[in-house]
Every structure is written in structure tokens, then in C-alpha cells.
Amino acid sequence: MQTEYDKALSEVKAKCLGCQKCALCKTRTNTVFSGGVPNSKLMLIGEAPGYYEDMKGVPFVGEAGQLLDKILGCVGFSRNENIYICNTLKCRPPENRDPLPDEKAACSEYLEAQVKILQPRIILLCGRVAVQSFLNTNTGITKIRGKWFEGPYFSKMMPIFHPSYLLRNESREKGSPKWLMWQDIKEVRRVYDQLD
Ligand code: URA
């Protein structure tokens, strides 16, 4: 049976899939609404679809996405089971350029609705663009990653590195971006395990 919750989410999704509020609708192949499990305590918000995401209509399926799945998998999170994944922008910007302010403004209604309907307990802000959508700060991600912030609907939010950044930084030594990500994801799992 469809619950109020499912109904609200599928209405937002249907509106988003047909969205023509900004120019990205002219260049997209697919709108990328979400991946993973809607009824999750954990939500991850990235930047915007890239080439493969646009082709498939699913977030984080390219090389960065595969690394993300591995990192999440190391602490037992998986998109089949316990995480909901979406992006700040639902359509791919040409050549993967940074989202423009008017595109973010046009798309914010969908992300806000996703957060409002799902009310996850933990929100991971993956990379600079997601951080700027929620935290009013220009502080670089290197300084604020791994810290907890108060999020909407009594959630806890943590900025984490974007996997594309990790792909450009090979080292796993103590203090390297990959090592820091490992600390962060373990901390996320620790707090997740304490949720009631
Ligand atoms: N990068 C993102 O931020 N999101 C995706 O879905 C893929 C790559």
C-alpha cells in the first residue's frame, strides 16, 4: 500500500523528472532524482550528475561513485540497504562545470522536499557545492570535513570530501585525504549505530 510518505516523494520525483525551470533541461539526457533507499536514516548529498549519471539517471555511478560505494561499504553502508543518495542539482551541467547560482536556486525546491519528506537523521554533505547549499560558510572543506553541524529537522550534518577529490589524491598515508575520509566514515558509522 502506498503511504503518505511514498505519495509525497513520488509527486516530487514526477515534478522533478519533467522539470524545465532552468536551461539544463535542454542538455540533459536524464534527470537524476535519487538512488538508494528512501526510508534511510542516512542521506548523502553530492554536487550534480556527471556523464554516466546523466546517461543512466542514477547518482554516483561513474568512477567517483564506485569509489564512494567502496568507502561506504567499508563500514557496512550500501545503497540497497541503508543510504539515500541525491545531488544538489538534478541535471548535469555541460562539461561538468560548477553549478550556477540560478541553477541551484531553481533546483533547491527538489532537494528541500527530499530532506523534508525523508527527514534523515544524518546528512553527509559530499564536497564544496553540497556544503554551500546548507552551511553559510566559505570555509574550505578541508577545514570543516569530519565535523558535526546541526541540520534541518533535528538531523546531524557532516561535510565530507567528494570522491572525485580522493581519486586525484592517491596517498593513503596518515593525514592524507583518503585517510581523513576513512576517519570520517568510521565516525559516521559510530554515530549511526547510536541512533535509536
Ligand atoms: N558527482 C556528484 O556530485 N554526483 C554524482 O552523482 C556523480 C558525481
- The grid coordinates of residue 36 equal 538508494
- Among 164, 166, 168, say which to mutate for ligand 1: greatest number of ligand atoms within 8 Å of CB: 164
Which residue blocks in 38-176 are alpha helix, DSSP H?
A: 51-56, 63-74, 101-118, 128-134, 141-144, 163-167
| pLDDT for position 13 | 98
155/150 Cα distance (integer angstroms): 6
Model pTM score: 0.97
33/60 Cα distance (integer angstroms): 11
Of 31, 17, 29, which is closest to residue 55 (Cα–Cα)? 29
Which of helix, strand or coil describes residue 35? strand
Q: Residue 61 Cα, ligand 1 centroid: separation in angstroms?
A: 8
Low-confidence ranges of the chain (pLDDT < 50): none
Ligand 1 neighbours, Cβ below 6 Å, are: 46-50, 53, 59-60, 62, 64-65, 87
- What's the CATH code, domain 20-193? 3.40.470.10
| pLDDT for position 2 | 80
Q: How many residues belong to the chain?
A: 196
Q: Residue 1 Cα, ligand 1 centroid: separation in angstroms?
A: 32
